[in-house]
Amino acid sequence: MTTMTDNTAICIEARDLSLERDGRQLFSAINFQVLAGEILQVDGDNGAGKTSLLRILAGVSRLGYAGQLLTGGQPLAEVRSQYNENLLYIGHNSAVKTTLTAQENLAWSQSLAARQSIDVSSALAKVGLYGYEQVLCQNLSAGQQRRVALARLYLSSASVWILDEPFTAIDKRGVAQLEALFVEHVKGGGTLVLATHQALAIDYPVQTLVLGES
Amino acid sequence: MQMSYFHFYKTALRRELLMALRRLSEVANPLMFFVLVVALFPLGIGPDPKQLAQFAPGILWIVALLASLLATDGVFQSDYQDGSLEQMLISPMPLTLTVLAKVTTHWLLTGLPLTLISPLMALLLQLPTEGMIALMASLAIGTGVLSLLGAIGAGLTVGLKRGGVLVSLLILPLYIPVLIFGSGAVQAAVQGFAYQSHLAVLGGFLCIAVALAPFAISAGVRISVEN
């Protein structure tokens, strides 16, 4: 760790990150850096700790892990509020309420992101939900519900995206569309961390972190 | 554009109410519980008006407390399961406001209807009319405190598989002062004494709870979600 890097450019850096869960070592002493404009793909067998790692990176889990997490060269815990303002995290459970419509779900996620209600219907149209704005999410398919969550990507101004299995239940065309969006995001100086088993079919360098390999 | 905290609270409250109204049958459970259980007492104790009237303040308050507790368990449950709670946790908006909106909804859907229907149930229990105002006022204030206290337990146990009994064990001791002053107010009013002091104490509880409970609830939710 003696390489001199411009610390301000480092978006997320993990040093000796270890996690033990229920007496099992999920991962130990992993190190990585994701800079602005980079993609980190987290891969690993089921139960290898992908979701746990992403939850730690997103700041959802703040307890139970060892090691250091830095953003912009500073410990994440110290700059958490700035970090959160700049973060978009879509978890394993996509936080879509089945008793709300697609539009209401998306509007709420915008409120949580501290943004005034903006027109969300264009974002819904982009994920192929045109005409479904007023449909309760319990009447949508699993893939469509996932798309409601992913529509946040089109509205987001956050530079750090942390996505847990974004392609689950998404059809081929949707996957291609998402991949294009990812490239656009990182080319614009964003950072992307995603957990997926699928190899990304994009023309852009991807860092890979495989968990559970010793 | 930035959103003001007050506007955010209103948005959160509107969302909670909207979700609640779309599953009304579930939401009406505490109220049904209150009505049914109170209606059983005259059958169990016997229809003697004097005896019923003597127990009425206690019965009404205990059943209202249990009805409120019944709904407490689910305050954070669905948000925990579908990942919404995670999003609230990492939002730049304060978690205290989001949980306060949830607690407000809980009160609007349990405490408030209980208060409104309580005179009817009081009649069923032969509570003298002098006690009505004290009953409604003490329930309105007291159930607010119960909602806030209950949410602390709900937040702490939301990550557990079977948190139901634990919530009751954690929260019931905290409910006791509210119960004592709540039913005390009604008893005092029935006996012709001043009941305002009881209400003042309840109001004091409410002030303290509104000021402090959101932080305790947020901390509990964080502990549940973060590991």
Q: Residue A5: pLDDT band by 50, 70, 90 thresholds?
A: very low
Q: What is the predicted pLDDT for the residue at B32?
A: 95
* Residues with Cβ within 8 Å of residue B95, at least 6 apart in sequence: B88, B89, B218, B221, B222
Residue that is last in its domain, among A157, A173, A199:
A157
Q: Residue B15: pLDDT band by 50, 70, 90 thresholds?
A: very high
Q: For residue A116, which residues of chain B lie inside 8 Å, CB to CB? A: 1-3
Least confident of B2-16, B90-104, B174-188, B206-220: B2-16
Residues A42 and A20 grouped into a single domain: yes
Residues A171 and A74 grouped into a single domain: yes
Which residue segment(s) compose the domain that B39 sits in?
5-226
Tell me what ipTM this predicted complex has: 0.86
Q: What is the predicted pLDDT for the residue at A117?
A: 63
Which residue segment(s) compose the domain that A188 sits in?
1-86+159-214
Could you tell me which chain B residue has the CA closest to the CA of A146? Answer: B82
Residues A3 and A72 grouped into a single domain: yes
- pLDDT: which is higher, A83 or B26: A83
Q: Is the pLDDT of residue B37 over 70?
A: yes
Could you tell me which chain B residue has the CA closest to the CA of A118? Answer: B1
Best of B23, B27, B77, B86 to substitute, by most chain A Cβ atoms within 10 angstroms, is: B86
DSSP B132-180: HHHHHHHHHHHHHHHHHHHHHHHHHHTTSTT-HHHHHHHHHHHHHHHHH
Asked if B92 lies within 8 A of A114 by C-beta distance, the reply is yes
Asked if A111 lies within 8 A of B2 by C-beta distance, the reply is no
Q: What is the predicted pLDDT for the residue at B2?
A: 61
Alpha-carbon gap: B2 to the closest alpha carbon of chain A (Å) = 5
Q: What is the predicted pLDDT for the residue at A199?
A: 86
Residues A39 and A111 grouped into a single domain: no
If you average pLDDT over every residue of chain A, what do you get?
87
> Parallel, antiparallel, or unpaired: how do β-strands A74-75 and A65-71 relate?
antiparallel
Q: Is the pLDDT of residue B50 over 60?
A: yes
Residues A53 and A111 grouped into a single domain: no
B167, B150 contact by CB (below 8 A): yes
The answer to whether residue A114 neighbours chain B at the CB level (below 8 Å) is: yes
Q: Classify the C-alpha dihedral B171-B164-B110-B32 as positive or negative.
A: negative
Best of B11, B15, B26, B87 to substitute, by most chain A Cβ atoms within 10 angstroms, is: B87
Q: Residue A149: pLDDT band by 50, 70, 90 thresholds?
A: very high
Residues A80 and A4 grouped into a single domain: yes
Q: What is the predicted pLDDT for the residue at B35?
A: 96
Q: Tell me how crowded residue B136 is: count the other CB atoms within 10 A of its CB.
A: 17
Q: Is the pLDDT of residue A3 over 50?
A: no
Least confident of A19-23, B161-165, B193-197: B161-165
Classified as helix, coil or strand, A98 is coil
Q: What is the predicted pLDDT for the residue at A157?
A: 86
Q: Is the pLDDT of residue B163 over 90?
A: no
Q: Residue B6: pLDDT band by 50, 70, 90 thresholds?
A: very high
Both tokens of B200, joined, read 């003042």
The answer to whether residue A62 neighbours chain B at the CB level (below 8 Å) is: yes
Q: Residue B159: pLDDT band by 50, 70, 90 thresholds?
A: confident
Report the distance separating Cα B53 and Cα B62, nearest Å: 15
Q: What is the predicted pLDDT for the residue at A201?
A: 87
Nearest to A155 by CA among A193, A103, A201: A103
Helix, strand, coil percentages (3-state) for chain B, rounded to 5, are 85, 0, 15
Residues A175 and A150 grouped into a single domain: no
Residue range A104-137, pLDDT digits in tens: 999 999 888 888 767 888 889 888 889 998 999 9
The answer to whether residue B84 neighbours chain A at the CB level (below 8 Å) is: yes
Segment 152-191 of chain A within 8 Å of chain B by CB = none
- pLDDT: which is higher, A40 or A11: A40
Report the distance separating Cα B146 and Cα B142, nearest Å: 6
The answer to whether residue B18 neighbours chain A at the CB level (below 8 Å) is: yes
Q: Is the pLDDT of residue A8 over 80?
A: no
Q: Is the pLDDT of residue A7 over 60?
A: no
Q: Is the pLDDT of residue B109 over 70?
A: yes
A45, A212 contact by CB (below 8 A): yes
Q: What is the predicted pLDDT for the residue at B97?
A: 94
Residues A147 and A183 grouped into a single domain: no
Residue that is last in its domain, among A157, A186, A206:
A157
Residues A152 and A166 grouped into a single domain: no
In degrees rounded to 5, what are phi and psi of residue A41? -105, 125
Q: What is the predicted pLDDT for the residue at A90?
A: 93
Q: Residue B195: pLDDT band by 50, 70, 90 thresholds?
A: very high
Residues A149 and A189 grouped into a single domain: no
Q: Is the pLDDT of residue A183 over 50?
A: yes
Residues A100 and A189 grouped into a single domain: no
Average pLDDT over residues A193-210: 89
Alpha-carbon gap: B56 to the closest alpha carbon of chain A (Å) = 39
Show the 3-state SS of A142-206. HHHHHHHHHCHHHHCCCCEEEEECCCCCCCHHHHHHHHHHHHHHHHCCCEEEEECCCCCCCCCCE
Number of independent structural domains in chain B: 1
Q: What is the CATH number of the domain that holds A210?
A: 3.40.50.300
Q: Which amino acid is at A99?
A: T
Number of independent structural domains in chain A: 2
